[in-house]
Structure 1
Amino acid sequence: MRMSEGVEWAMHTCLNLTWLPTGQAVPAAKLAAFYRLPAAYLNKQLQALARAGVVSSTPGPRGGFQLARTPEKITLLDIVVAIEGPEEAFRCDELLKRGPGADPKTDYRQACLVSRAMRRADLAWRRELAGQTLADLKADVEQEYPASPGNTVNRFTALRA
């Protein structure tokens, strides 16, 4: 399975927003400048996150994006689904219907052992992402890279100038 680069961009951007003061909206251009990303493309990811209720958008000259919920209430799955959509990674085309001895009345998505194995794997992957919050990721980063919060705040401060 391969996810779009938008997932990585969204994860890092949401993580960066956890270190900024509550209520501080950051324009998409400044969020994009942090990693030298194309602002228009990151803005599309931010709009998807806003539609999913992960971030909120404030219009106007002092507007921008901020987390819509506390990091404890945002799972990594919330971010992935906002960017990639809710569909399962594996799409069963019921290939067995075209094979010898096929029964057109059978729902091969249920009967096919390949489909069932892939759905179990997808469910395990989703459970893992749903079980980890943005707050968990933030804590892991802060433990392994303690300078990250300060560096992030300093970088956004420099970008305002």
Structure 2
Amino acid sequence: MKISSGLEQSIYVLLILSRVPQGETLSSIVISERLDVSHSYLKKIVKSLVHEGLVNSTPGKNGGFSISRPLNEINLYQVFTAVEGKGRIFNSQYLIKDFIEGTDNGNEKECVISQVMDTVEQKLRISLQSVLLSQILANIKDIYDIDKLDRWISDVVAEPAK
């Protein structure tokens, strides 16, 4: 299984926005420049986060984005579904019918592969739900000095809108 780069970008967008002072916003351009990622792709990601209620969007000249709730109320599964969608990660082609008899005669019972993948999907969901973004930020703080990030945010927020 391959998870898109959008998941990682989404996590960092949320972590950045969590450091922005209340009442302030950051533009998607500023965030994409900070992360050195495609602005058009990041805009799509942020739109998904807004749609799922994880990020607030403020329109206008001084508008931008802010986080909608504390990091301890956001888990990885919420971010995952915002970016990757809420559909199933595996959709069977139901090839069991051809595998067993070479034809679809309606006698097939269940797709064993679907059963296995349903279990995998359930375990993935449970694992992602168990990790809060506040835990990720705490782990980052244990390894890195995020004062540089906070200073950057302070500088960007202080700049007049162009």
TM-score class normalised by the smaller sequence: 0.7 to 0.9
CA contact (8 A) 1:18 1:138 kept: no
Identity of aligned residues (%): 24
Provide Cα deviations, 1:35-54, integer angstroms capped at 9, x if missing partner.
12222221111001100111
Q: For residue 142 of structure 1, what is the aligned residue in structure 2?
A: 141
CA contact (8 A) 2:24 2:66 kept: yes
Question: Structure 2: which 5+ residue stretches go unaligned?
Answer: none
Amino acid in the other structure paired with 1:28: S
> Which deviates more from structure 2 when the two are superposed, residues 55-64 or residues 35-44?
35-44
Amino acid in the other structure paired with 1:135: S
Provide Cα deviations, 1:80-130, integer angstroms capped at 9, x if missing partner.
111110112221111112233465265x5xx22221111111111111111
> Which deviates more from structure 2 when the two are superposed, residues 42-51 or residues 7-16?
7-16
Q: For residue 121 of structure 1, what is the aligned residue in structure 2?
A: 120
TM normalised by structure 2 equals 0.87
Amino acid in the other structure paired with 1:58: T
Provide Cα deviations, 1:33-84, integer angstroms capped at 9, x if missing partner.
1112222221111001100111010001111111111111111111111111
Q: For residue 104 of structure 1, what is the aligned residue in structure 2?
A: 106
Secondary structure at the aligned position of 1:132 is classed as coil
Q: For residue 152 of structure 1, what is the aligned residue in structure 2?
A: 149
Q: For residue 24 of structure 1, what is the aligned residue in structure 2?
A: 24
Aligned equivalents of 1:126, 1:103: Cα separation in 2: 35
Q: For residue 46 of structure 2, what is the aligned residue in structure 1?
A: 46
Q: For residue 36 of structure 1, what is the aligned residue in structure 2?
A: 36
Secondary structure at the aligned position of 2:69 is classed as coil
CA contact (8 A) 2:74 2:133 kept: yes
TM normalised by structure 1 equals 0.87
Aligned equivalents of 2:43, 2:9: Cα separation in 1: 10
Secondary structure at the aligned position of 1:100 is classed as helix
Q: For residue 129 of structure 2, what is the aligned residue in structure 1?
A: 130
Aligned equivalents of 2:105, 2:23: Cα separation in 1: 59
Secondary structure at the aligned position of 1:66 is classed as strand
